[in-house]
Amino acid sequence: MKLALFQDDLATLRRRVADQRLVIGALLCCLLLVLLALWRVVGTERIVLVPPHVAKTFWVQDGRASNEYLMQMGGFVAWLILDVTPQSIEWKKQTLLSWCEPENAGAIKARQDVEASRLKKLNASTYFQLDQLVPDEESQAVVLNGRLRTQINGAETSNNIKSYRVQFVFRGGRIHLGQFKEVNDEKAAVAPVGLR
């Protein structure tokens, strides 16, 4: 009699183990599907960053920003660097440094300090009249073409066509100013160039 009871208990335990194996298998399949979905999603998240003034929609994804964002930020950086007076250069310099890549902040600060002392000494102002923005999404840069006007004591002393290349770097979920430099050859300015 006990043998039949033990065999029934053994059969019940075997059914339970089989049922548990099915549940574990189903859970394992679900886990694999979730891991596959996470693997596909990781790195494709779009982070929406807002420039100081939003004129167009844009996107930032996988360490790259859209042309629209590059154009808006390029114009903003040009305004901070090139549209300066002796009264505005200090606060524009501080604002600019908050957007700089940490490795380049010292060089940009030194450049702006020299420019600030020059403007204050001469009582000069510079204004950049932007004519064209040429973004390059591949290198995360934008070339600004326009006229740089310089005034000393209110009298215009120069009005030259200039081109500047603004290089951006995506780091830590944020776009940083990597480099701002004047370029002479327009063909070289539009071609993708590395950061350094």
Q: What is the pTM of this model?
A: 0.65
Quick check: 37 pLDDT over 60? yes
One domain, residues 162 and 70: yes
Q: What is the DSSP letter of 56?
A: S
The helix/strand count (H/E) of the chain reads as 5, 6
One domain, residues 81 and 126: yes
Residue 172 lies in a domain: yes
Segment 130-173, tens digit of pLDDT: 999 899 988 889 999 999 999 998 888 999 999 999 998 887 77
Query: Mean pLDDT for the chain?
Result: 83
Helix (H, G, I), strand (E, B) or coil at 156: strand
What's the CA gap between 59 and 150, in Å, rounded?
Answer: 35
Q: What is the DSSP letter of 47?
A: P
Residue 122 lies in a domain: yes
What residue numbers bound the domain in which 137 lies? 60-190
Q: At 70, is the pLDDT very low, low, confident or very high (cuts 50, 70, 90)?
A: confident
One domain, residues 21 and 118: no
Residue 46, strand partner residues: 61
- Beta strand 124-136 with 64-65 is unpaired
Q: Read off the pLDDT of each residue in 177-188 and give the average, rounded to a whole number.
A: 76
Residue 134 lies in a domain: yes
Exposed/middle/buried for 61, CB within 10 Å: 0-12, 13-18, 19+?
Answer: middle
Q: Read off the pLDDT of each residue in 28-41 and give the average, rounded to a whole number.
A: 88
Residue 118 lies in a domain: yes
